[in-house]
């Protein structure tokens, strides 16, 4: 099982999650982060760090976001790894 970045991250990109990832499996796209399922060790440390609840185990991704499973898998390797916290996009919702 791998974790998946889903819809709430689009146009957001809070990066609190990348700081806690022990295997650096996050990749940065233009408008969203991706998790490489081949690198993810399912530690779940990233889940509570996401202020918009965009990260889920692949088996818990709701049907409306099911396409994000394949999207993370196909896009992660096309984008650079991100290992340090950065500012979110200006369009990111406020932290809850």
- pLDDT-derived band of residue 1, with 50, 70 and 90 as boundaries? confident
Structural domains of the chain, with CATH: 3-78 (3.30.70.20)
Q: What pLDDT does 67 receive?
A: 98
Structure tokens at 15: 């990066």
Structure tokens at 56: 């889920």
Q: Model's pTM, two decimal places?
A: 0.95
Q: Are the CB atoms for 14 and 55 separated by under 8 Å?
A: no
Q: What pLDDT does 30 receive?
A: 97
- pLDDT-derived band of residue 43, with 50, 70 and 90 as boundaries? very high
Q: What pLDDT does 55 receive?
A: 98
């Amino acid at each position: 099982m791998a974790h998946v970045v889903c819809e709430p991250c689009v146009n957001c990109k809070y990066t609190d999650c990348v700081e806690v990832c022990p295997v650096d499996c996050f990749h940065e796209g233009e408008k969203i982060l991706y998790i490489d399922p081949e690198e993810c060790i399912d530690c779940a440390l990233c889940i509570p760090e996401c202020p918009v609840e965009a990260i889920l185990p692949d088996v818990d991704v709701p049907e409306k976001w099911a396409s994000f499973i394949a999207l993370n898998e196909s896009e992660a390797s096309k984008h650079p790894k991100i290992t340090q916290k950065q500012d979110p996009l200006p369009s990111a919702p406020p932290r809850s």
